[in-house]
Chain A
Amino acid sequence: MADTIAAISTAIGEAGIGIVRMSGKESLNIGSKVFKGNKIENLKDGRNRELLYGHIIDKSKDQIIDEVLIVYMKGPYTYTREDMVEIYCHGGIISVKKVLELLLNEGAKLAEPGEFTKRAFLNGRLDLSQAEAVIDIIRSKTDKSFQVSLDQLEGSLSKSIKEIRNILLEMIAHVEVSIDFPDEDIEEVAYEDLENSGRIVMEKIEALLNTAERGKILRYGLNTVILGKPNVGKSSLLNAILRENRAIVTDIPGTTRDIIEEYVNIDGIPLKIIDTAGIRDTEDLVEKIGVDRAKETVEKADLVIVVFDVSRELSEEDYHIIELIQDKKAIILLNKTDLPNKYDEKFLKELVRDKEIITTSMTTGLGIDILEKSIKNMFYSGEVEIFSDTVVTNIRHKNQLEKAYKNIADGLTAIKSYVPLDCIEVDLKNCWENLGEISGDTVGEDILDKIFSEFCIGK
């Protein structure tokens, strides 16, 4: 177990504290690279199991990431029986994510699903009777994360990855064919061509990474559903939120679904809003997709925003919606307050019980700020949380993209200095494999198939 692994070990967005932990030989080294303490400056100068106060600092940018407590625990008396470091950051997604990313940059490896538990078992920490439970945990975590990973890959990201891998495959096949079939009547691979293709690959990966920075492929967020019967102002609400906040995703289409997702960022809190825009002209969510689907959508939601039109009386559909959200975190908007009031507020309050109610008017913009504040409160108080696997998957993707970027950058440097082909191929293939891990494509015989289908070789 030479690798030192790192992961976020608390549910994301929950409570005031988020824990990032590391396990492995390099834990102390990596920990001391990113930590600057107040009293005891270097983590290495602290005692075993001593809780130190200080800051996590990105030394390459000279930037403070978070104010933290940190502890180094020397093996074997730890959960994994390896050296471990635990970092207690501020809760919420931003902090833990940045800390984790920093650890990965410093040489830690992102833990596989269930890997801490696996190590604990393999190192003799867990009881034999727990073996089966361990298998179950790892199995289910792996399968779940794989599913999440695939779910997130629909659409344009997977298409871009495939595109880049194809360019790389062309390059690799050409390099391999000139290596393995030197006598054949095939044009020698030209370094200029490799450089051109390599540059395209690098630019494309860079573009993906940029969008990753901005959150375009980091498709996580509070799963938020806007619910309401037709013409209550759902689309106006969405537009108002989008207008005021930075819309993250506009160019990733919702693929085949009849529901479109929009991503916004409210003061650092990512929101994935299930948008009914696609169906807003005709029907409402419940009617269009049927009660079952609506139920499913609501069930998956971390937060539901229900919109009522106070200029109309409560109808059958409204009651239906209220039923759906009984057990959900929800915010009730009483919209169109600029028009004459026609509904029974008291009665409604009784129906929705403890849920927060905000009066709004999309025409005047009234209440939007209160809604946003309310969402923020719920998030920071831990009332709502983001499904953490999604975030991890995204960190994993980004991590792979970064590795791929580094490999193609190395490859380009090598190409430019006319390093021999067999070395260049190492960089190209690594890059190709990094990307393959995102899209779930395995190596297999691809390269040989490509060679034999494209080049006339053989004696």
Chain B
Amino acid sequence: MMKEVKHYLAGEYDVIVIGAGHAGCEAALASSRMGMNTLILTMSLDSIVALSCNPNIGGTGKGHLVREIDALGGEMALNIDKSFIQSRMLNTSKGPAVHSLRVQADKKKYHIEMKKVLEDEPNLTLRQGEVIDIFLDNGCVKGVLTRTGAIYNCKAVVIATGTYLKGRVYIGEVDYESGPDGMFPSILLSNSLEKMGFNLRRFKTGTPARVHKDSIDYSKMEIQPGDEEVIPFSFLNMEKKFDVKQVPCYLTYTTPKMHEIIRENLHRSPMYAGDIEGVGPRYCPSIEDKIVRFSDKEQHQIFIEPEGLTTKEMYVQGASSTLPEEIQLEMYKNIIGLENVQFMRSAYAIEYDSIDPTILKRTLEHKELNNLFFAGQVNGSSGYEEAAAQGIIAGINAALNIKGEESFILDRSEAYIGVLIDDLVTKGTNEPYRMMTSRAEYRLTLRQDNADLRLTEKGYKLGLVKKERYEKTLNKKEAIERELKRLKTVQITPTKENNDFLEGLNSTPLKTPSSLHDLIRRPELNYEILKELDKDREDLPREIRLQVETQIKYEGYIKKQMAQIEQFKKLENKKLEEDQDYNEIKGLSNEAKQKLNAIKPDSVGQASRISGVSPSDINVLLIYLEQKRREVGVKKDE
């Protein structure tokens, strides 16, 4: 018989964060930095910000998120700047809005650096412990219970449990309860959530094998070095010199023989045998999936990436699999250069519980249970960066709730973070959600290079950004404006010398004087090239030059987008009450009533993005709001 665990009161906090992954750490740091006495509980202190899957931070869309977290005063960018071992700016040929920074992380270092930050944070307590229950009082959070009987009272809880809830690992015919990468799963908390009435659903994700560095024949592969010029993630580090000795990655390919092995053994994959019910992400297919769905492709890319400087483990990107271990080994041996490969960890799929994020507000607080927040993979997202982005928003709003201040919401026109959260809570997701730049309607204005200009002020007002940094950003803004203005006034005259220079660059010679501003707009010219005609040009920092160039070159498109944003904002600013009963509004279609009651949007704008809510329903809402406003007799806001 099980012995009864005696409970004891172990402490009182403002905010408790469950989980110290990417979401949990940002949440805890934000809340403690906003003055909240914060406790972060993790099942293992050795798994803080574990990079359980790929060893990179950033990439398309994701890199944007990291920059935004940084501008708000988050930690992810600073942490990766301390621990990267290779850096690349992707998409440099495709326009500034989609330039994306992606770096290779030293996983261990990344963990150690973040642990240090948590340990040194004044208002933050770091504690190992498995939360197995959450206490509520009258629909409001009041504490948590750990497996060892400790009760911690608190005012708000952020659940950031990643893939741990009822985690189950699959390797071929073998499956067992487990967290990611050999960690323990969290079974009891999942049970508690179910008892509280949560509808949990199963998602899955997978990871490839890790192999020994010395068992690889690199001569058959293509080397992929980092960029010569390192651009950091954090805006705080822009002027810093990085003397990191970068480690290369390698590109290789699968072979027909490998494909054959996979096809012959498909029936042994739990995905194909139907044992896994969880839904996996479309952009993270297993190698089995790729070979079945794109059977005419003769080879697939495989990247070999280092997991860190102090380990010989190498990550085999592109070869995640759920096949049995013996088959995995056999198929990996048929990847070019891996003929003598030595496995260190096997590939596996993991299935876990997640909530339906549409039960959350855009602050990531539960719609009915006060001060209960959710962030990260448990919300049905995927990726370290997506998790961290939700973490900081949940942490900020937990603190604001306790202080009794207005909540903090970023909308779709302000940040990728806004797009991410709005998508999750408004539309929900049927697969682990990944950020992509194509999800952002206002991509041209939401660039990774201007995240500081967009968000530093907000971070400052929240108390997450120091005054010095805020002022620096203001100065940067001013310098950009000044330079833009100057370029409009500098006239280039059609002298022979000037025209010879232009013709040398295949640019049409001038007939009348033209401002430098207008010349920069020509596709064949740019800010740097025109330096020669611009005798009085000050030597400006790269950051400012970049902004000036981008803002001039894409002025037309950016203006178009700004006009769209203005329209968008109008509906976004029409606020709806949290406790609105939509059945009471005459004229709404039945479907709209149902959907609106389920989602409880915070604005007419959000309502308009719910499927099943039509333009005429939106008109009805606008009329209704005006009707109500006049009934209340509030003075007109226009």
**B623 pairs with A134, CB closer than 8 A:** yes
Give every chain A residue within 8 A of B318 (Cβ-Cβ).
459
Flag if A459 contacts B300 (CB, 8 Å). Answer: no
Bound form: Cα–Cα A425–B554 in Å: 13
Verify if A180 is at the interface (C-beta below 8 Å from B): yes
Please give, as numbers and ranges, the residues of chain A lying within 8 Å of B61 by CB-CB distance. 180
Bound Cα distance from A423 to B90, whole angstroms: 17
Q: Which of A128, A180, A183, A426 is in CB contact (< 8 Å) with B630?
A: A128
Q: List 25 A-B contacts (CB under 8 A).
A: A2-B570, A112-B615, A114-B619, A118-B619, A121-B626, A135-B587, A135-B623, A135-B624, A139-B587, A180-B436, A180-B437, A181-B283, A183-B303, A418-B523, A420-B93, A420-B95, A420-B96, A422-B443, A422-B444, A423-B444, A423-B554, A423-B557, A444-B611, A451-B438, A456-B290
A319 beta carbon closer than 8 Å to chain B? no
A182 CB contact (under 8 Å) in B91, B283, B614, B626: B91
B636 at the interface (CB under 8 A from A): yes
Taken together as a complex, chains A and B put the C-alpha atoms of A423 and B586 apart, in Å, by: 43
* Top 10 A-B pairs, shortest CB-CB distance: A420-B95, A135-B587, A142-B616, A422-B95, A456-B294, A422-B97, A131-B627, A176-B438, A452-B282, A417-B523
* Interchain CB contact under 8 A, A422 and B619: no
Further 6 A-B residue pairs, CB within 8 A, beyond A183-B301, A426-B560, A458-B282:
A2-B570, A122-B626, A142-B616, A181-B60, A420-B93, A459-B317
Give every chain A residue within 8 A of B614 (Cβ-Cβ): 142
A136 adjacent to chain B (CB < 8 Å): yes
* Residue in A183, A451, A456 whose beta carbon sits within 8 Å of that of B293 in the complex: A456
> Is A184 within 8 A of B587, CB to CB?
no
Residues of B contacting A183 in the complex (Cβ-Cβ under 8 angstroms): 90, 301, 303
Query: Is B631 an interface residue, CB under 8 A from the partner?
Result: yes
Chain A contacts for B487, CB-based, 8 A: none
Query: In the docked arrangement, what's the CA distance between A419 and B98, Å?
Result: 13
In the assembly, what is the distance between CA of A447 and CA of B317, in Å?
25
Query: In the assembled complex, how far is the CB of residue A434 from the closest CB belonging to chain B, in whole angstroms?
Result: 13
Contacts of A132 in B (CB 8 A): 586-587
Q: How far is the CA of A183 from the CA of B283 in the complex (A)?
A: 13
Knowing A135-B623, A181-B60, A456-B294 are in contact, say whether A422-B94 is a contact too (CB < 8 A).
yes
Q: Which residues of B contact A422 (CB under 8 A)?
A: 94-98, 437, 443-444
A403-447 CB contact bits vs B (8 Å, 1 = yes)? 000000000000001111111011000000000000000001001
Tell me, in angstroms, the Cα distance from A50 to B347 when the chains sit together: 80
Which chain A residues border B499 with CB–CB below 8 Å?
none
Q: Which of B98, B100, B630 lies at the interface centre, i.e. has the most chain A CB atoms within 10 A of its CB?
A: B98
> Which residues of chain B have C-beta atoms less than 8 A from A64's C-beta?
none
Closest to B291 in A: A456
Contact, CB under 8 Å: B627 / A459: no
Kindly state whether residue A448 has any CB partner on chain B within 8 Å: yes
Residue B561 at the chain A interface, CB threshold 8 Å: yes
Interface size band for A: 35 or more
Residue-wise, chain B 269-295 has the 8 Å CB interface mask toward A (1 for contact) of: 000000000000111110000100110
Contact of B94 among A138, A143, A179 (CB under 8 A): A179
Find out whether the CB atom of A185 lies under 8 angstroms from the CB atom of B438.
Answer: no
Whether A458 contacts B284 in the complex (CB less than 8 A), given A128-B631, A138-B620, comes out as yes
| Pair A456/B300 contact, Cβ less than 8 Å | yes
The yes or no answer to B297 lying at the interface (CB within 8 A) is yes
Q: Does B492 contact A (CB under 8 A)?
A: no
Residues of A351-368 contacting chain B, CB below 8 A? none
Say how far A127's CB is from chain B's closest CB, in angstroms.
10
Q: Which residue of A lies closest to B290 (CB)?
A: A456
A3 to B: closest C-beta gap in Å: 8
- Does B566 interact with chain A (Cβ within 8 Å)? yes
With an 8 A cutoff between CB atoms, is B54 at the interface?
yes
Is the CB–CB distance between A131 and B444 below 8 Å? no
B484 in contact (CB, < 8 A)? no
Look across to chain B and name the residue whose beta carbon is closest to the beta carbon of A442: B611
- Chain A residues lying within 8 Å of B554, measured Cβ to Cβ, are 423
Residues A282-298 near B (CB distance < 8 A):
none
In angstroms, how far is the closest chain B Cβ from the Cβ of A292?
31
Nearest CB of A to B179, in Å: 21
A180 to B93, CA, bound (A): 13
From A138, A420, A448, give the contact of B438 (CB < 8 A): A448
Kindly supply a per-residue 1/0 record for chain A positions 113-131, scoring 1 wherever the CB is within 8 Å of any chain B CB and 0 otherwise: 0100010011010001001
A178 interface residue, CB < 8 Å from B? yes
Instruction: Report yes or no: B587 in contact with A136, Cβ–Cβ below 8 A.
Output: yes
A169 CB to closest chain B CB (Å) equals 12
- Return the CB mask of B596-636 against A: 1 if under 8 Å, else 0: 00000000000000010011100110111011001100001
A120 to chain B, nearest CB (A): 11
In angstroms, Cα B282 to Cα A185, docked, is 16
**Is the pair B627, A423 in contact by a Cβ cutoff of 8 Å?**
no
C-alpha spacing A143/B620, complex, angstroms: 13
Q: In the assembled complex, how far is the CB of residue A391 from the closest CB belonging to chain B, in whole angstroms?
A: 21
A40 within 8 A of B: no
Q: Measured between C-beta atoms, what is the minimum distance from B620 to chain A in Å?
A: 5
A457 within 8 Å of B by Cβ?
A: yes
Asked whether, in the complex, the Cβ of B438 is within 8 Å of the Cβ of A458, the reply is no
Evaluate contact between B623 and A448: CB separation under 8 angstroms: no
In chain B, positions 300-314 with a C-beta closer than 8 Å to chain A are 300-301, 303
Once A136-B587, A180-B438, A418-B523 are accepted as A-B contacts, the answer to whether A458 and B561 lie under 8 Å apart by CB is no
Q: Given A179-B60, A458-B282, does the pair A139, B616 have CB atoms closer than 8 Å?
A: yes
Whether the pair A426, B557 counts as a contact (CB closer than 8 A) is yes
Nearest B residue to A128 via CB reads B630
Residue pair A420, B94 in contact (C-beta under 8 Å): yes
B301, closest chain A residue (CB)? A185
Specify the chain A residue showing the minimal Cβ separation from B443: A422
Give the nearest-CB partner of A143 in chain B.
B616
Known contacts A128-B631, A458-B282; is A138 also within 8 Å of B616 by CB? yes
Decide if B623 touches A121 in the complex (CB within 8 Å): yes
Write the A191-211 contact mask toward B (1 if CB under 8 angstroms, else 0).
000000000000000000000
CB-defined contacts of A425 to chain B, threshold 8 Å: 443
**Cβ-closest chain B residue relative to A132:** B586
A132 to B588, alpha carbons, bound, how many Å?
11
Report the bound CA distance from A423 to B98 in whole Å: 10
| B300 contact from A142, A185, A418, Cβ within 8 A | A185
Most chain A beta-carbon neighbours within 10 Å: one of B293, B317, B438, B557: B438
Could you say which of A138, A418, A421, A426 contacts B623, with CB atoms under 8 Å apart?
Answer: A138
Which of A128, A444, A458 is in CB contact (< 8 Å) with B283? A458
**CB neighbors of B among A19-42 (8 A):** none
Q: How far is the CA of A138 from the CA of B619 in the complex (A)?
A: 8
Q: Which residues of A contact B586 (CB under 8 A)?
A: 132, 135
What residues of chain B lie closer than 8 Å to A444, measured between beta carbons? 611
Cross-chain contact B630 with A124 (CB below 8 angstroms): yes
Task: Name the CB-closest residue of B to A456.
Answer: B294
Which chain A residue lies CB-closest to B315?
A: A459
Q: Which of B443-468 contact A (CB under 8 A)?
A: 443-444
Expressed in whole angstroms, the Cα–Cα distance for A114 and B284 within the complex equals 47
Interchain CA distance A418-B285 in the complex, whole Å: 33
Given contacts A420-B95, A421-B98, A426-B560, contact A135 B620 (CB under 8 A): yes
B286 nearest CB across to chain A (Å): 9
Nearest residue in B to A113 (C-beta to C-beta)? B616
CA distance A418 to B526 in the complex (A): 14
Rounded to whole angstroms, the CA-CA distance of A295 and B6 in the bound complex is: 84
Contact with B along A205-237 (1 / 0, CB 8 A): 000000000000000000000000000000000
Closest residue of chain B to A142, judged by CB?
Answer: B616
Residues of A within 8 A of B444 (CB): 422-423, 426
Closest CB-CB distance, A431 to chain B, in whole Å? 13
Complex alpha-carbon distance, A19 and B620, angstroms: 27
Interface string of A92-124 (1 = CB under 8 A from B): 000000000000000000001010001001101
Q: Give chain B residues whose Cβ lies under 8 Å from the Cβ of A112.
A: 615, 619
- Most chain A CB atoms below 10 A, which of B281, B557, B611: B557
Complex: chain A residue closest to B435, CB-CB: A180
User: In the complex, what residues of A have CB within 8 A of residue B438's CB?
Assistant: 176, 179-180, 447-448, 451
